[in-house]
Structure 1
């Protein structure tokens, strides 16, 4: 049975990805920072809870040790993420963006991904079909951000798209360094979740579809790609 760990899986896209993969026969480990919410989600889904705060070295190290005790890991979905907003839900653009706010975004979206991936790589390397899915965003595309008239170019925030651009580069470098694994970054689309104050236009079922697709990629499938449900995205 394929064992899959999903970070930030107690709600939103992470939870729906867990539900869909369980339906496909995966043993899913629900990674969540909040023990009560994570335990409840895991119980409701028929999954297993793993305490995991991607911003904490100690938490990630302990989670990796626990997953090793459970028998190893085949798929890691780096889903946990934050998007800083104003109290009223508005975007934070310059000059309102301060370094502390940007640092908080990068701590979760970039450093958290690096921290978690590094901790679980030894387990993934032992898998016969190791997979990493990094949940990115079209907002991280430099080409789309400079395309006149593109919705990405009109997005006023800075820290979130910058963090997702970093995720795409990390994905490319990881894929080159670990050719035996399948490592891809996906764009789930503008999905209605707590992350965007439920302003998204897609359901979590629609948003999770590309995550599930790349989480179940074959050992000879694509790696080092940047993909949405509609196909490849420009870097």
Structure 2
């Protein structure tokens, strides 16, 4: 049996509590098609220890987006050992990020993708405190109606509800209160503190970071691709994937192309 067939299946405790039946199904499929070691951590510390002791086994996370992000962060900080590759069986209500990355829905389809899929190298955004972003960053305007369209309104709701906003293309903003932020992309100035912005979004796309500055007045947002993006100004909060951070006065994100691997169909 090859090392590819030797799995470390780490089942997040939230998944076990929320949907034990899906966990059982995923475990049965994985154990039926591989030599799997099952780990049932009860705390973030046990979760981290399980991944640190994985040896040559491929880590498989059974859990939601938060469990996925926790695992990616741990593998990222564990370098140089390993290549940051993992697999995922999404379980729970908060799995929008997992599906957006290409992981199939349903425990059977996702578990079969773990067994039969291939590793795809994906990008990360890493900030100066070693925080990671897999999907996107949203810096909405301070007012809940800051006007950068559906994506930013969803991000603003996430500041209060802890939910991930929908990943849709944002229509042109409408007038409303905004930020005064300085945004630089690879050293080029996109806006400065004398200009009001309705919000800023940042995401990974094919080895580049795509940064979009939304203006309060009607019109097209400014979008550029870069490797390094710095946002600074008065205190601001932002959502990175599922986590709200801040207030901060400056944050720099650096694109790490192909920094981690995910097994996909």
TM-score (norm 2): 0.33
- Which of the pair is proportionally richer in helix? 1
Bigger Rg over Cα: 2
- Which of the pair is proportionally richer in strand? 2
TM-score (norm 1): 0.37
